[in-house]
A and B are shown apart, each in its own frame.
Chain A
């Protein structure tokens, strides 16, 4: 790891000020991507601003079907939240299968979506739940938030403070993990709410997380796994690497979508 300056922020405002005042500062949330990258000397931020001790980023609020999760909430806290489980158990299940116990007890929902790793789980849920991403300066719809591989709509020094969404009547997440890293090679979050069915796909798309609109239309017509049979997932829009060709990922997207519908039904 290269030398860096560590700052512990006690408020979002202080964090924003610290990071904007540094040469090449990075925000540290759960650190599950940043710290390993720094240890491998692949990142060398001049300053690291630690968000983990900011009270206003913590906490889960559920009122009626509305769910709000502070950005600093760990995956383990989401996984174990009885309140979220009461309205959207699929999100608890998703969080319970991110990484390993170490990752789940350190990694946060805000860090995950701000990093927008194309193989991360949360982005699929955010787009399928049509979530709102709250930052220290504005609210952004999930559809606008996730821009591309590791790219988001966040501006310089903009900090995610929370996410919120209306719980769907039914939802499920199914993923097929990369055998080595255990990140998603294809993860599909299916949500059926008042405005229709939404299908978020992570791990597979060459531009990162996306909504499978043809699947959504088919499921709106008939919410059953069988209605996905006629859908073709285009391999040319898929990622390819040594663990999964584009054709294989296209197949996995369909299989995981089918299984998610079965689990949600």
Chain B
């Protein structure tokens, strides 16, 4: 390892511009003639649109035009689609309703876009939007998935009878039922996984620019995957063909999944720019973000887990109802199916697993992937059930887990995943030691003396990351491949540009990707520039989500570097009159091994570009590209231990200790990995203790539409985390990376709830475990 190579905690190159306020975000973009947009949004959860009267608004100062859904349809702009086909267990395809970028005849959630106002200033656009008179005929609304499935519930899309989108299963129901019937012990739990609002620090924004002279569109947008945005807007939404559409995702202030999807606003801003002849910018305020950013989670589940007399798991059965909101967002169907039920084996050797998942339309904001995406829901079920089972069986939670750990790899689960490696004992042992697990009884007694109820809980999670092998996801219904691309350009004097299809919106790619180049070529990270986020600069790429940028994105860079090195060695061998196999690259030089002959990297690069003296027949230049498709998912795993103190008078929970032990495989920058774990655990604790998205079940109004009511985690809600790692390398990519972006959010909620239920002696504590909720559970 060099001082800036793999394993070095170098400071993040991008932070200088971020912490000095010099980042360039979509809303910072200003183009000549630019005007401002505001959306007219439905105030009702469910209503027919009888008519739209724009006359008063059109006459207001500064208003350029107001465009509605009828005009959008007349211009043949397409429906917003879900890109992952799921079939019900009867073989029928999912029942996808129509999602128009501007609602034409029906609105289906509070915030549904109805029209766009373009005006000289943002204030004028907003005032005119309030003056657009939409004549609504209110319809009955339903916000909860279980209620929406019932006979007589309001019907949201004609395509989905009883609001059911699909009824899907995985595994053998008969085998699991037999295992449960023959079990020595069955633990059963009803579990709600609470709906969350993503709350990236930068609200979404879009700037659409149509250039009539070139018949060309440019879209600046807050996207985690600008190429996917271009592909979808071109292939499905009929905005413009790919060669006429440039999508730029500049600095983006966090996404957590919510900026994967292509939303109505960027489509409509591009279209409106063509209609009005002016560039159109929109950015949303925080309340609009609460209403329209795709939400996460929202599952209602039952889990049964069967044990034999020796406490080995013999079967696991899950029944889940998942709320997908008013429309099917881009990857919404994959989250409660292949990103969820395929992880229900956890870290355990379970011969029989069956999961049934029904997905449901409701009059709420669309639900899609949010940090962890399906895997937190799976992990929460298994790890709550394992802790509960240990209590029921009267054995230690750690021993019950150890008894059932998978220890031979590869291991094929009954839910189609093949775990290709891991060592589940190592993080469990490390976390127990770091938390002084054995010393807990003394700490509990001491806390009792202070009137506090102290509890401890653990969670042993596994997740599938490095998303994903293209052929495998294609077979499961994905509309895209999930490889990644890279191009390494060595400039004439040896500086390097790496063009990547990954997109950094907080992850620190400009540092970690440069560290890989530094490791391989022996150059400093300051000589390496990472280029991303612009479809005109970077070759096709798939973007960043699913903890894939290291395992897939960096692997593509690694393969491109292989090619660069191979050519560089050929040239060096020629220049140094040595055999190619004797050339080694180190310290910024290409050397003939065992001699003092060498050529500095910059001279070699120059030689490639002057082309005065290259091997016979070799092309000039030094630039290589690669597309990398992983052979499998990667499988980060770990053990989290949480210790809490509950105030019995108020129900308030304080987290007094939190230990995270993760196996992420190879780690490029330990400081950045620590930061990812801190952020993920903060979000997981947020889900467990604080964050709950609440709709009024009668009116469908979002009651938690600001920070006055939606409890975002704050620094004083969180303890100082103890973060450590163990290591088994992933065999599915050349660097052995597993990914770390989602682990914290996946592993922590069950650890927190296991600790609270241990503290209060009542196993029924829903999330978020707010003071009121815990107080009520104490009294129950």
Contact at A243–B710, with CB atoms within 8 Å? no
| B451 → chain A closest CB, angstroms | 11
- Asked if residues A176 and B650 are in contact (CB atoms below 8 Å), the reply is yes
Whole-angstrom CA separation of A82 from B155 in the bound complex? 65
Contact of A180 among B127, B651, B709, B775 (CB under 8 A): B709
State how many angstroms separate the Cβ of B622 from the closest Cβ of chain A. 53
Partner of B775, one of A41, A179, A242, A248: A248
Chain B residues within 8 Å of A127, by CB: none
Smallest Cβ-Cβ distance to A249: which chain B residue: B772
- Besides A179-B771, A248-B651, 7 new A-B residue pairs in contact (Cβ under 8 A), listed by A number: A180-B690, A180-B709, A181-B707, A181-B709, A242-B704, A244-B772, A252-B650
Chain A, residues 83-116, CB within 8 Å of chain B (1/0): the string is 0000000000000000000000000000000000
Which residues of chain A from 140 to 177 have a CB within 8 Å of any chain B CB?
176
CB distance from A142 to the nearest CB of B (A): 27
The yes or no answer to A137 lying at the interface (CB within 8 A) is no
B494-532 Cβ-contact flags toward A at 8 Å (1 or 0): 000000000000000000000000000000000000000
Determine the distance from Cα of A107 to Cα of B706 in the docked complex, in whole angstroms.
21
Q: Is the CB of B650 within 8 A of A2?
A: no
In the bound complex, what is the Cα–Cα distance between A186 and B2 (angstroms)?
57
A203, chain B: closest CB distance, angstroms: 13
Task: Show 10 residue pairs from A and B whose CB-CB distance is below 8 angstroms, ordered by the A residue.
Answer: A2-B127, A176-B650, A176-B652, A179-B771, A180-B708, A180-B710, A242-B694, A248-B775, A251-B650, A251-B775
Chain B, 643-660, CB within 8 A of any chain A CB: 649-652
Chain B contacts with A in 109-137, Cβ cutoff 8 A: 123, 126-127, 130
Residues of A within 8 A of B123 (CB): 1, 3
Closest 9 CB pairs between A and B? A180-B711, A255-B649, A181-B708, A179-B711, A248-B772, A180-B709, A244-B772, A242-B694, A176-B650
Known: A2-B127, A180-B710, A242-B709. A255 touches B650 (CB 8 A): yes
CB < 8 Å neighbour of A245 from B649, B652, B706, B772:
B772
What's the Cα separation between A176 and B770 when bound, in Å?
13
Kindly provide the distance from the CB of B758 to the nearest chain A CB, expressed in whole angstroms: 22
Q: Which of A197-253 contact B (CB under 8 A)?
A: 242-245, 248, 251-252
Q: In residues 743-780 of chain B, which contact A (Cβ within 8 Å)? A: 770-772, 775-776
Instruction: Give the Cβ gap from A174 to chain B, nearest Cβ, in Å.
Output: 11
Q: Give complex CA distance A40, B694 in Å.
A: 20
By a beta-carbon cutoff of 8 Å, the part of chain B in contact with chain A is 123, 126-127, 130, 287, 649-652, 690, 694, 703-704, 706-712, 770-772, 775-776
When A2-B127, A243-B770, A245-B772 are in contact, do A40 and B287 touch as well, CB less than 8 Å?
yes
Q: Is the interface of A mostly helix, strand, loop or mixed?
A: loop
B residues less than 8 Å from A40 (CB atoms)? 287, 706
Q: What residues of A have a CB within 8 angstroms of the CB of B694 in the complex?
A: 242
- Bound together, the chains give a CA A220 to CA B710 distance in angstroms of 41
* Residues of the A chain whose Cβ atoms lie less than 8 Å from the Cβ of B770: 179, 243
Q: How far, in angstroms, from A3 to B61 measured CA to CA in the complex? A: 13
Q: Once bound together, how far apart are the Cα atoms of A248 and B123, in whole Å? A: 42
Q: Nearest chain A CB to B649's CB is how many angstroms away? A: 4
A89 to chain B, nearest CB (A): 22
CB distance from A214 to the nearest CB of B (A): 20
Residue on A nearest B696 in the bound complex, by CB:
A242
CB pair B650 A179 closer than 8 Å? no
Contact A179 B649 (CB under 8 A): no
The distance from the CB of A117 to the nearest CB of chain B, in whole angstroms, is: 11
Task: Choose among A176, A179, A242, A245 the residue that contacts B703 (Cβ–Cβ < 8 A).
Answer: A242
Bound Cα distance from A214 to B712, whole angstroms: 37
Complex Cα spacing A176 to B712, Å: 17
Give the nearest-CB partner of A1 in chain B: B123
Give A115-141 as 1s and 0s: 1 = Cβ < 8 Å from B's Cβ atoms.
000000000000000000000000000
Question: Shortest distance in angstroms between A61's beta carbon and chain B's nearest beta carbon?
Answer: 34
CB distance B690 to A248 under 8 Å? Answer: no
A179: which B residues are within 8 A, CB to CB?
690, 711, 770-771
CB distance from B67 to the nearest CB of A (A): 23
In angstroms, Cα B127 to Cα A176, docked, is 39
Chain A residues whose CB sits within 8 angstroms of the CB of B706 once the complex forms: 40
Min CB distance, A254 to chain B, in Å? Answer: 9
- Measured CB to CB, the closest approach of chain B to A173, in angstroms, equals 16
**Chain B residues whose CB sits within 8 angstroms of the CB of A41 once the complex forms:** 126, 130
How many angstroms from the CA of A183 to the CA of B706 in the assembled complex? 14
Which residues of the partner chain B approach A181 to less than 8 Å between Cβ atoms? Answer: 707-709
The residues of B that contact A3 with a CB separation of less than 8 Å are 123
Bound complex: CA A40 to CA B285 (Å): 9
Residue of B nearest to A255 (CB): B649
Residues of chain A contacted by B690 (CB below 8 angstroms): 179-180
By the criterion CB–CB under 8 Å, are A243 and B772 in contact?
yes
User: Which residue of chain A has the shortest Cβ distance to B652 in the bound complex?
Assistant: A176
**B85: min CB distance to chain A, Å:** 38
Chain A's closest residue to B694 (CB) is: A242
Determine the chain B residues whose CB is within 8 A of the CB of A243 once the complex forms.
709, 770, 772
- Tell me how far the C-beta of A44 lies from the nearest C-beta in chain B, rounded to whole angstroms: 10
Bound Cα distance from A257 to B709, whole angstroms: 25
Contacting residues, chain B, for A245 (C-beta < 8 A): 772
The CA-CA distance from A74 to B130 in the complex, in Å, is 36
With both chains docked as a complex, state the minimum distance between the C-beta of A40 and any C-beta of chain B, in angstroms: 7
A180 and B707 contacting across the interface, CB-CB below 8 Å: yes
Q: How far is the CA of A142 from the CA of B315 in the complex (A)?
A: 67
CA A245 – CA B651 in complex, angstroms? 13
Cα distance, A1 to B770, chains bound together (Å): 33
CA distance A260 to B21 in the complex (A): 44
**Distance A78 CA – B131 CA, assembled complex (angstroms):** 45
C-alpha gap A41/B127 in the complex (Å) = 10
The chain A residue sitting closest to B651, CB to CB, is A248
Smallest CB-CB separation from B708: which chain A residue?
A181
Tell me how far the C-beta of A71 lies from the nearest C-beta in chain B, rounded to whole angstroms: 25
Shortest Cβ distance from A118 into chain B, in angstroms?
14
Residues of B within 8 A of A1 (CB): 123
Closest to A182 in B: B714
Max chain A C-beta neighbours (<10 A), residue from B650, B652, B694 = B650
Q: Are B776 and A248 in contact (CB under 8 A)?
A: yes
Chain B minimum-CB-distance residue to A259: B649
A255 to B775, CA, bound (A): 12
Q: List residues of chain A with CB within 8 A of the CB of B775.
A: 248, 251
- A38-62 residues with Cβ-Cβ distance < 8 A to B are 40-41
Contacts of A176 in B (CB 8 A): 650, 652, 771
Q: Which residues of B contact A255 (CB under 8 A)?
A: 649-650
Q: Which of A41, A180, A181, A244 has the most CB of B within 10 A?
A: A180
| Chain A residues whose C-beta falls within 8 Å of the C-beta of B126 in the assembled complex | 41
- In the assembled complex, the CB of A232 is this many whole angstroms from the nearest CB of chain B, namely 16
What does the 1/0 interface line of A57-76 toward B look like (CB < 8 Å)?
00000000000000000000
Minimum CB–CB distance from A66 to chain B (whole Å) comes to: 36
A248 to B776: give the CA distance in the assembly, Å: 8
A181 to B127, CA, bound (A): 28
CA distance A242 to B123 in the complex (A): 33
Q: Which residue in chain B gives the minimum CB-CB distance to A244?
A: B772
B649: nearest residue on chain A (CB-CB)? A255
B707 CB contacts on chain A under 8 angstroms = 180-181
A41 and B288 CA atoms in complex are apart in Å by 13
Closest Cβ–Cβ distance, residue B110 to chain A (whole Å):
16
Complex Cα distance A1/B775, Å? 40
What 0/1 readout, one digit per residue, does chain A (19-54) give for beta carbons within 8 Å of chain B? Answer: 000000000000000000000110000000000000
| Residue of B703, B706, B710, B772 with most chain A CB atoms under a 10 A cut-off | B772
**How far is B648's CA from A94's CA once the two chains are assembled, in angstroms?**
24
Q: Which residues of B contact A251 (CB under 8 A)?
A: 649-650, 775
CA distance A41 to B123 in the complex (A): 11
